């Protein structure tokens, strides 16, 4: 296990990412610049207009949203892109022949995405602190529990996305949805309460919507455990459903590509 963690996290993850220093700098800038963009948008709109949406501190609101929406969408995109790269490099068959097996390849590939995007979230939260956002440290264990449940549900979606990448090669609808529509529908930069009723109902079918609500309550308002317990229960239900579903879809797609003889095609 240590050798695999070293290979996937350091050799295949950090070492390759760090070797392209220009891209690394651009990645960090892409994490931070949206924070300042929405900060100036919020200040230019004025507190009165922003407060009509029910948001008292817009900077704090969008910092939590950007940190964890990017966390979810980037992990899912990173994993599907990793599988896509293995197809392009012609190395995906070697993983299937190795003791790592199909599921092990998926889980170890997901680790770098989680590590890199944890750094992403920390950088955005630090930028928010520089803009005056105050975080509640007393409820840190509760916030971490919400993040953990969010990670589990994200892994379920990542499995589905990875399986679809094996079959469709390019144009993954799951990755596209989480990299674009979640910023609109999950309450990332404005409350879901301002959405039309139909869209709002769909947004509550996304785990990120519930997680952002819980994280804002614990990290910004210092809400106690009993206050966010319903959110933890909902996220737990998502986890119970998405992990088996993700595994089933991922394995089905791999077996389908094997039967068709298209596993290594790109």
Q: Is residue 49 part of a domain?
A: yes
The DSSP output letter for 189 is: S
- For residues 210 and 232, the answer to whether their CB atoms sit within 8 Å is no
Q: Is residue 142 part of a domain?
A: yes
CB-based contacts of 238: which residues, under 8 Å, 6+ apart?
149, 153, 156, 207, 210
Tell me which residue range forms the domain holding 68: 2-260
N residues, the chain: 266
Mutual orientation of helices 101-130 and 58-89 as an angle, nearest 10°?
A: 150
Q: How far apart are CA 20 and CA 30, in angstroms?
A: 15
Name the E strands within the chain: none
pLDDT of residue 92 exceeding 90, the answer is no
Q: How far apart are CA 256 and CA 235, in angstroms?
A: 31
pLDDT of residue 121 exceeding 70, the answer is yes
Q: Is residue 265 part of a domain?
A: no
Q: Is residue 112 part of a domain?
A: yes
Q: Which residue has the tokens 């094996």?
A: 166
Mean pLDDT of 239-248: 91
**What is the biggest distance separating any 2 CA atoms in the chain, rounded to whole angstroms?**
61
Q: Is residue 11 part of a domain?
A: yes
- For residues 217 and 69, the answer to whether their CB atoms sit within 8 Å is no
Pick from 152, 179, 129: which is nearest to 246 by CA?
A: 152
Q: Is residue 266 part of a domain?
A: no
pLDDT of residue 13 exceeding 70, the answer is no
Q: Which residue has the tokens 């979810």?
A: 72
pLDDT band at 111 (very low <50, low <70, confident <90, very high): confident
Mean pLDDT of 116-142: 86
Return the pLDDT at 225.
87
Stated pTM of the model: 0.79
Top mean-pLDDT range of 81-95, 169-183, 186-200:
186-200
Q: How far apart are CA 266 and CA 260, in angstroms?
A: 13
Q: Into how many domains does the chain fold?
A: 1
């Amino acid at each position: 296990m240590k050798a695999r963690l070293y290979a996937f996290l350091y050799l295949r993850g950090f070492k390759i990412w760090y070797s392209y220093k220009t891209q690394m700098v651009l990645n960090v800038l892409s994490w931070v610049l949206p924070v300042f963009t929405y900060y100036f948008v919020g200040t230019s709109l004025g507190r009165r207009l922003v407060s009509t949406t029910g948001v008292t501190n817009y900077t704090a609101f969008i910092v939590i949203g950007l940190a964890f929406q990017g966390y979810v969408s980037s992990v899912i995109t990173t994993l599907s892109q990793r599988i896509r790269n293995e197809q392009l490099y012609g190395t995906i068959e070697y993983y299937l022949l190795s003791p790592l097996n199909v599921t092990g390849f998926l889980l170890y590939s997901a680790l770098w995405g989680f590590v890199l995007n944890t750094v992403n979230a920390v950088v955005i939260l630090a930028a928010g602190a520089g803009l005056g956002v105050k975080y509640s440290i007393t409820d840190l264990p509760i916030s971490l529990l919400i993040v953990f449940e969010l990670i589990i549900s994200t892994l379920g979606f990542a499995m589905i996305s990875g399986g679809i990448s094996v079959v469709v090669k390019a144009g993954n609808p799951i990755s596209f949805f989480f990299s674009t529509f979640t910023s609109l529908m999950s309450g990332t930069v404005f409350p879901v309460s301002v959405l039309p009723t139909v869209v709002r109902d769909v947004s509550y079918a996304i785990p990120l919507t519930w997680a952002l609500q819980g994280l804002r309550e614990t990290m910004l308002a210092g809400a106690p455990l009993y206050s966010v317990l319903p959110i933890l229960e909902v996220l737990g239900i998502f986890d119970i459903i998405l992990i088996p579903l993700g595994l089933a879809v991922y394995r089905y797609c791999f077996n389908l590509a094997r039967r068709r003889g298209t596993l290594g095609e790109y």
